[in-house]
Amino acid sequence: MNKITNNKAWFLVLPVFFIVAISAIIPLMTVVNYSVQDIFGPDNRFFVGTEWFKQVLDDSRLHEALLRQIGYTFSVLLIEIPLGICIALTLPRKGWGVSACMVLLALPLLIPWNVVGTIWQIFGRADIGLGGYVLNMLGVDYNYTQSSVDAWLTVLVMDVWHWTSLVVLLCYAGLRSIPDAYYQAAKIDGASRWAVFRFIQLPKMQSVLVIGVLLRFMDSFMIYTEPFVLTGGGPGNATTFLSQYLTRMAVGQFDLGPAAAFSLIYFLIILLVCWVFYTVVMNAGQREEH
């Protein structure tokens, strides 16, 4: 769509600008302020330059948390994206089943994140939870509060349970936009099921998949509440991800300087990926228009 150039449109954007500026710029400035100072009290602070950044970048526990985070985020993407596509392909296209599936699929997304943690905390326990009980009955020695592998797997399964529906709904929206004529043409040409998927369905899902991949990347990269409730970051540090480490540093130990420096680095990583995402989506959008 060709748009009119009109700078008066700024007036329509001003309310959004102010409300987001208040809740984004002021806090961000505070963080920058902390990251370069050592604060002992309201009137007792020193400028320390990049010292906190150096300290944070050398922190080996932080490196571990970062590696854990990256491993976790990639596992989440590798499982949820293919599974989401598969489930979206199995959804009915018309009839009462559509509404029913939509409601059931969206249900996990509407559950408060700490309740998601609580649900799996209960479900995975060997004494009172169905999941843990059945696994132990089958002879699997499963205990997510003791074994770090079990804890890790539980957090992963919980995320798959919680967020795969998002990918399913996105892909389904993409599939719905394919006109029936495409399928009929494929049928006349005698295209195989795989060819239909590869050359008709996948290209139509491309733009929504980009949104899906990046939403899942961002959200799993900042995951906090669910592992906090489920495992509290343990056993040991097996499920301590970046947000947990940051919150512990800022609120638990009150190390404001390092926490602020860490916040900025954390934010920059996400910002970088976000910029790549934005460019990709915008370019894809322009290609479609031409």
Partner 1 sequence: MKFQKRHIALLVYILFLLLPIYWLFNMSIKTNTEILGSMTLFPDNPTLANYATILTDPAWYSGYINSMIYVAINVVISLTVALPAAYAFSRYNFTGDKHLFFWLLTNRMAPPAVFLLPFFQLYSSVGLFDTHIAVALAHCLFNVPLAVWILEGFMSGIPKEIDETAYIDGYSFPRFFTTIFIPLIRSGIGVTAFFCFMFSWVELLLARTLTSVNAKPIVATMTRTVSASGMDWGVLAAAGVLTIVPGALVIWFVRNYIAKGFAMGRV
Site for partner 1 in 194-233 (CB under 8 A): 207-208, 211, 218, 221-222, 224-225, 229
- The size of the interface with partner 1 (CB under 8 A), counted in residues, is 97
Is 15 a binding residue for partner 1 by CB under 8 A? The answer is yes
Binders of partner 1 in range 144-203 (CB under 8 A): 161, 165-166, 169-170, 172-174, 176-177
**CB 179 to partner 1: min, Å:** 13
Contact 151, 145 (CB under 8 A): yes
Binders of partner 1 in range 49-68 (CB under 8 A): none
Closer residue to partner 1 in complex, CB, 22/185: 22
- Both tokens of 23, joined, read 């809740």
**CB 62 to partner 1: min, Å:** 14
| Cα 277 to Cα 162: distance, rounded to the nearest angstrom | 23
**CB 48 to partner 1: min, Å:** 18
**CB 108 to partner 1: min, Å:** 6
**CB 253 to partner 1: min, Å:** 12
**Residue 163 C-beta-side C-alpha neighbours within 13 Å:** 27
Closer residue to partner 1 in complex, CB, 166/238: 166
Nearest residue to 185 via CA among 172, 196, 173, 176 = 196
Is 140 a binding residue for partner 1 by CB under 8 A? The answer is no
Closer residue to partner 1 in complex, CB, 49/252: 252
Which positions from 25 to 44 touch partner 1 by CB under 8 A, shown as an x/- string? -xxx-xx--x----------
The C-alpha torsion from 231 through 236 and 242 to 244, rounded to 10°, is 50
**CB 144 to partner 1: min, Å:** 14
**Residue 226 C-beta-side C-alpha neighbours within 13 Å:** 25
Amino acid at 261: A
Is 275 a binding residue for partner 1 by CB under 8 A? The answer is yes
End-to-end CA distance of the chain: 10
- Inter-CA distances, 10 with 1, 17, 22, 255, Å: 19, 9, 18, 41
- Both tokens of 57, joined, read 């970048």
Is 136 a binding residue for partner 1 by CB under 8 A? The answer is no
- Inter-CA distances, 56 with 45, 52, 246, Å: 19, 6, 11
Give 103-170 as a DSSP string: HHHHGGGGS-HHHHHHHHHHHH-TTT-HHHHHHHHTT----TTT-HHHHHHHHHHHHHHHHHHHHHHH
Which range in 36-44, 49-57, 60-68, 91-99 contacts partner 1 by CB under 8 A? 91-99
DSSP state at residue 98: H
**CB 46 to partner 1: min, Å:** 19
Binders of partner 1 in range 240-259 (CB under 8 A): 242-243, 246-247, 250-251, 256, 259
DSSP state at residue 2: P
Binders of partner 1 in range 70-89 (CB under 8 A): 86-87, 89
Which positions from 93 to 132 touch partner 1 by CB under 8 A, shown as an x/- string? --x-x-x-xxxxxxxxxxxxxxx--xxx-xx---xxxxx-
**CB 60 to partner 1: min, Å:** 21
